[in-house]
Amino acid sequence: MLLPMSPADSVFLSVESPQTPMHVGGLELFFPAEDAPSPAELFSQLSSGSTANDVAPLFKKRPRRSLATAGQWAWEEDRQFDLSHHVRHNSLPQPGRVLELLALCSRLHSTLLDRQRPLWELHFIEGLADGRFALYFKVHHALLDGVSAQRLLQRILTKDPAARGLPPPWANRPAAPRPAQQQPAPPSPEELVANLLRSAREVATDVAGIPSALVRTVNRGLQSQSAPISFAAPRSMFNVPISGSRRFAAQSWPLERINRIRRGARCTVNDVVLAACSGALRTYLSSMDALPEAPLIAMVPVALRVRDRARESGNALGAVMCDLGTHLADPADRLRTVRRSMKEGKQALAELSPLQIVAMTGLGMSPLLLQSIPGYAELLRPPFNLIISNVPGPRTPLYLNGARLDGLYPLSIPYHGQALNITCTSYTDELSFGLTGCRRTVPHLQRMLGYLEDELTALEQATG
């Protein structure tokens, strides 16, 4: 049975190539419990005993495009599903440092997922010298986005350190019974017609407002103000065609350090993250003699409350093109620039309806689809220089068969013209940075971790 694939999801399959794998990933580090079995036994517990019938339908979907689908991508069940292909056991070479772990994740993140099979893999990794083990999970963006993948992987985790025998993330779980609720009375024919007319009128109003929203958005972009569209991004070493090889660097910092800077500067955690990235990027590019005179522009996904005609307010996801202030030498000036840019961008989005935000954000990102055309990235300015995102994570400690989750690091998607991606996520009292870059285009990526530490220290001093 073929299931239709949404146009948005099919784009990730259509633009994928050996140079641009379109999967996201996550790395989780664990400290084993005192009574924990050996790593080999842990892997056996995680992977054995499951048959194809025990696997949730999501994990058995593979993509297909044929005459039967009119040339469009669709999903079908893999009737020869092989769990051992998707769940794998890895051991690090000596001396088993985090450096070897990140190198392995870099290689795993560089390879395409097999389209003849469901588009996911889970790697159990042992051999760290300090006794920890790791899980690396990768899944195609057509199947799950990064946030959904992170939440799904956390299904095997629990807040109870004594819990054992939890089902794996791919387990076919029965749907939880919903509490009985009193059903509202059905609307009368008059109310139904009135609701339909009101909804149609609201959609028509939003659509009619798109041209004026576009004019306002483009004007802001032309004036170098923050908006979903930017015309100010300079050419940089990140905005070129890339290879398929990846390098991954990751590190965590105490959230209290970030919060001290936030309180001192009266800004948001995301402002501090962006300012730290700004300073680290400035130092990195300067060391390569590749710092543009104009400031780098980062595309920053944001969630915000916006006006909604159907309700008093509504939620919407959009993107702000943030001026990182990388042309400024003073860290305090960079932080002020980031704070002002993000505030302006959020205000600009808040003036739009959710439908208009989606339209403007899509328009601002649409040039990415042209980056794979030979020569495009060299001839025209990039729509932005890199993506920096901050995704909230679990606030309480989590456990896997008694093993405590010690670190959570996201891996994302570089693309032609966007050779570096920085994604952050929080866990308990730490903020973790995951830097994913093209191995050839962004050399010595691990140095960025030291530059991030230096910039956080400089921001602490600048904010007292």
Catalytic sites, residue numbers: 141
Contacts of 123 (CB under 8 A, 6+ apart): 88, 89, 90, 108, 135, 136, 137
184: how many CB neighbours lie within 10 A of its CB? 6
> How far, CA to CA in Å, does 280 sit from each of 98, 254, 423, 455, 458?
21, 18, 14, 6, 11
* Rounded Cα distance, 203 and 209, in Å: 10
Residues 126, 92 contacting (CB under 8 angstroms): yes
What are the backbone dihedrals phi and psi of residue 134, each rounded to the nearest 5 degrees, phi first? Answer: -140, 155
* Rounded Cα distance, 407 and 123, in Å: 16
For residue 4 the two structure tokens come to 């239709």
Describe the chain by its helix, strand, coil percentages, rounded to 5: 40, 25, 40
- Show the CA angle centred on residue 341, arms to residues 258 and 234, nearest 5°: 105
* Rounded Cα distance, 210 and 229, in Å: 14
Per the listing, tokens 């097999």 go with 114
Residues 411, 31 contacting (CB under 8 angstroms): no
CB-based burial label for 150 (10 Å; 0-12, 13-18, 19+): buried
For residue 189 the two structure tokens come to 């024919």
* Rounded Cα distance, 287 and 75, in Å: 47
What are the backbone dihedrals phi and psi of residue 383, each rounded to the nearest 5 degrees, phi first? Answer: -65, -30
